[in-house]
Structure 1
Amino acid sequence: MAPGMKHYDAIILGAGAAGLMCAARAGQRGLRVAVLERAAKPGKKILISGGGRCNFTNLHAGPGNYLSANPHFAKSALARYTPADFIELVERHAIAWHEKTLGQLFCDGSAKAIVDMLIAECPDSVEVICDADVSAVVKDGETFAVSASGESYAAPALVIATGGPSIPRMGATGFAYDLARQFGLKVVEPRPALVPLTLGGEDVLFRELSGVSAPVRARAGAGSFDEAALFTHNGLSGPVILQVSSYWTPGSEVAVTFVPQEDAEWLVQMKRDRPRASVRAALREHLPDRLADALADRLGIERELGNVPDAALREAGARLAEWRFSPTGTEGFAKAEVTIGGISTGELSSRTMEAKRVPGLYAIGEAVDVTGWLGGYNFQWAWASGVACGESL
């Protein structure tokens, strides 16, 4: 090894959620760990998450809330480190928290409390080294040698925890994939997830509703969610669209149910109860006026309900229950909260996160082909995979 090289039991690339959790667990087991972070401070993505309050887990997190080429891969780690385990850690550090909606847990105060907690969990045997820009990684026998910002580091274990390319303004890159390929690991083609969708063609007419939000049901592929949709200058966003974006594939449609609390016969029933009402008025009772008017205009039924045949009202109800949009694409990694795809789970042990064909090489967190729903699920995967790795180094 080169003179001046610093020796450790493990080197972790990336001081994000997964990397710091892994470092803390490994350090608590007595290992000497170097965490190399390219940014000036650790946990940058944690700090901006949840509007600065960090949606640090979800009470309902389980394998069914994750997408992967192998949906069974996440089961082991998630079963061994649960939301309750992380809540216990948060409470041990006296961090106040609250449930927002749908099991989403946030800090009462700043997300910085979570970063500070993770750093505090790291014993003296863990060094977090920032402004460390990795320029080379090689394996010499059973030792990994890492060159970063003029320094050299060596260890028998190397952990890839550099995340995916989502949110490039935070310094995110595809470095994890390049490194995985260097060592012969397969990578599932990454694409943006939890990302707004863009609209074109006839759907462009909905851009006039930019800023309007409404609770809807949205479906794409195998994903169906009930939350708010937001119309934007570019297309569709809001929690429900971010959720289904993970299931949407180019060329396919997104189906939106605009009044999910009503059945297909609701307009016919309203005709019986209030024959002088209009479709426009009926929609305004459930949706923001601008959205109700836009939908009514497109349905083209201006007469009082009492003068409209039941068949036409059923047809209108069916269209409102299955309003189809054909997205032209997504707003890309720049607006994506996470990445779908990544280092193939087929290359890794689900118990330890170690590469099956490269002893001593590990991958955790968003770098791996495991992607959670919106709402704290991706953090829970970071904690769980970090613990699984940290306990096996």
Structure 2
Amino acid sequence: MTVKGMKIGYLHVGPPEHGVCRYGRLLATAARQHNDVAVIEASVMLGNNRNHNRTLLIQAAQTLSEADVIHFQFNKFGRTLWGEGWAQIHHLRLFMDHCSAPLVVTLHDVFYPPYRLATVLRQAQAKWQTGGAAPKPSVAQALSAPAVHPSHRPRWRKGVGFLQSIFNGWFGAEAIALQAIVRRAALILVCTREEATRLTDRVARQTLQVIPHFVEERSIQVSPTAARQTLGLENTRIVTLLGFIYQPKGHHLLVEAIPALPEDVTVVLAGGSSSSYYDAYVESLIATATANGVAHRLRITGYLSEADLELYLRATDLAVCPFTRFSASGSLSTWISVERPILASDLPQIAEYNQLEPNAIHLFTPCTSSALAAAIERVLPQCTPEGSPAVSRLRQKLSMAVIFNQHLAHYRRLGSTDQGRSQTMLKSVT
């Protein structure tokens, strides 16, 4: 087999507009720019009919059977992708069992805590000692909380819940799905070193590689002034949090920060809830803004078309990412693509960006609404329509061309020798 004639297969599972599915499609598009590579693609939309799903996945494997390497994306939270629970495991195994080429799998939203015995004992002791002494929830958190706030539960119930999470982390459906991938994949990719750390007890080091989330090329023709006029946001400074609305992204921190910000600042939550499960959280954000008398300075857009999204991207003065936890962020990559100044919470994944390009992303700490408000006031005067030079340099380092070449090096290593295929065949019989 020669490198020049290698064929790369891409499996796309789920709706095309889903971020994870779109990630794989964009990689396939980048691959087609290389004359020494042939691209084969298969798309699957799984439903509730088990037999129909089986047919679709087997047909996809057959379509990709000529590929030297097959790459697909996986997100354990993506119920519209591979399904959920035990169905997810069945679908994964079914497809992988019908593939003979080396498999490359990119894992998204990686939350698999490394539960060594010592770690378990330390965390269990900490949870037992803290008991109910948890910080008072904010207005938004309280409004969206269950009838009994987790911090008020008896110690024994918290302990049981912790042990249950450990059990599910190793023996639940999501863990078994990961195990199935680990057994069959010749290469597992993640977007951050933090995600790789979360997999240290589950994936062999030689199988796991980190390739950063790529940044798309965008060419937005509208000017910031025209974008603001179209959106009805003239004569205001715009601070935007982009993406689906749910607690870990820190929307409540930004909404709670509004009263401390100057009157000419408007906060935009550019997105909506990803499912009805988070509707109560969205309502709590509105209630918080109303209670604080700043509802007129808050705009929640709901789902945005690509054209409307680009208007908000151009109109924004400062992008904020007050995440309390995350793996790799597509919304952060979107901000980098338009070179807007970015303010983010001080998390390990953000530090990785700043290691790649020093001071590209402004930080705030601790992760509180007051610290966020102070940081916004500090950074906003530095924001200009021309964008951030440091973010521009970061964008170049994370361009699709650069990031795809990192993928291509791994494809070639696996596809141009018998090593990858023999490794895949060995894993398939173990």
Same fold? TM cut 0.5: no
> Which structure is higher in helix share?
2
> Which structure is higher in strand share?
1
TM-score, structure 2 as length reference: 0.23
TM-score, structure 1 as length reference: 0.25
Q: Which structure ranks higher in relative contact order (CA pairs < 8 Å, sequence separation ≥ 6)?
A: 1
Larger Rg: 1
